Amino acid sequence: NAGVTQTPKFQVLKTGQSMTLQCAQDMNHEYMSWYRQDPGMGLRLIHYSVGAGITDQGEVPNGYNVSRSTTEDFPLRLLSAAPSQTSVYFCASKTGTGVTGELFFGEGSRLTVL
């Protein structure tokens, strides 16, 4: 049982490049989400999903796209990276479609945009 797996753990991009952060969970969780963590700003919700085919925006969605084609996977896409997207990204999942109850976090992906 691997839990929530994020790849890659580290990535350096140039401004304007695109990339996808992968997130996979093997717990059959309905709810999946992406957060970014910046110094002094805590965890901010980017996008979330309550099931395959269903996604919605969080607090800071601009510059990011998501899709949920399967229950297990929830990739986060940066179409044209900007220095402001330098951050640590966390994927989290939980059972059910609401946020009451434990969120299981991945170990994070550190992204640097030059």
Partner 1 sequence: GENVEQHPSTLSVQEGDSAVIKCTYSDSASNYFPWYKQELGKGSQLIIDIRSNVGEKKDQRIAVTLNKTAKHFSLHITETQPEDSAVYFCAAKVGAQKLVFGQGTRLTINP
Q: 11 has which bridge partners?
A: 111
The burial class, CB within 10 Å (0-12 / 13-18 / 19+), for 31 is buried
Q: With binding defined as CB under 8 A, does residue 44 bind partner 1?
A: yes
> Could you tell me the two tokens for 39?
């110094």
Q: With binding defined as CB under 8 A, does residue 51 bind partner 1?
A: no
61/63 with CB nearer partner 1:
61
Q: Which of 1, 10, 14, 40 binds partner 1 (CB under 8 A)?
A: 40
Angstrom distance (rounded) from CA 61 to CA 41: 16
Q: With binding defined as CB under 8 A, does residue 26 bind partner 1?
A: no
Site residues (CB under 8 A) for partner 1?
4, 31, 35, 40-45, 48, 50, 56, 58-59, 90, 92, 97-108
